Chains A and B, each alone.
Chain A
Amino acid sequence: GESVGLHLPTLSVQEGDNSIINCAYSNSASDYFIWYKQESGKGPQFIIDIRSNMDKRQGQRVTVLLNKTVKHLSLQIAATQPGDSAVYFCAENTVGNQFYFGTGTSLTVIP
C-alpha cells in the first residue's frame, strides 16, 4: 500500500497548550485524508477529514492543514486537554476506497 508516515512518534504537551501532529504521505493522487484518535483498548475514532481541493478545515478545537505541494498533513489541537492523550493516525484514501494509515503519534498531555 501507499506509504504514509509521521515525523514525530511521540509528543508531550502541557495542558492548555496547542498541539501539532504532522504526517507525510507519498501518493500524490490521494484525494481524501482523515485524522483518527485511538485511545488505549479502543478502535480508532474519527476526528476530522479534508479533501484535496481544500488546504484547511476546522472543527471543534481541531484544525487540519493540507499542503499538497510537499504532501504534508497536520493536525492542530487547540488548548490541549488530558482527554486528548491518545495515539493519532492520519489515513490516506486511494482508489477503491481503501485507507492506508501512518505510523501514529502518541500524544501525552501533562496536567
Chain B
Amino acid sequence: SAVISQKPSRDICQRGTSLTIQCQVDSQVTMMFWYRQQPGQSLTLIATANQGSEATYESGFVIDKFPISRPNLTFSTLTVSNMSPEDSSIYLCSAGPGGTEETQYFGPGTRLLVL
C-alpha cells in the first residue's frame, strides 16, 4: 500500500486568499486524485491529477478555482483560490497504482477553515 502525507494538516485562512495543499506519496503512482469532504458528509471527487498534463475536473469544479499540479509520479498540489467561507472543508488526496480495479489509498486530509 502507498503511504500518503499532506501539508498543511490544517489551516485558517482569510476570505479572498489562496492556499496550496501538498500531497506526497512514498512510491511512484500513476493515479492521484483530490477530494473534498464537507463536515459530516461524504467525499466528492474534485479532479484527477494527471502527470504531465492538465488535471481532469469533475462537474462543478473548475481549474481557475482549484488549480492542480502534478510534476512527477509522487507529488501533487491543489490550490484553493480566492477562498470564501463555503470552501471550508477537508481536502483529501488519494493515490493508486493505476489501471482499473486498483485500490486507492488516502492521505490524512487538510482541514481548512475560511473566515
Contacts and interface: CB of A to CB of B under 8 A. Distances in A.
Interface in A36-86: 36, 42-46, 49, 51
A38 to B, nearest CB: 9
Contact of B101 (A51, A91, A100, A101): A51
B92 A44 contact: yes
B42 A93 contact: no
Interface residues of B, number: 29
Contacts of B96: 97
A103 B48 CA distance: 21
Contact of A42 (B31, B44, B99, B109): B109
Interface residues of A, number: 25
A96 B100 CA distance: 7
B100 A31 contact: yes
Given A42-B109, A44-B92, A93 B45 contact: no
Nearest to B96: A97
Closest 3 CB pairs of A and B: A43-B106, A32-B101, A101-B43
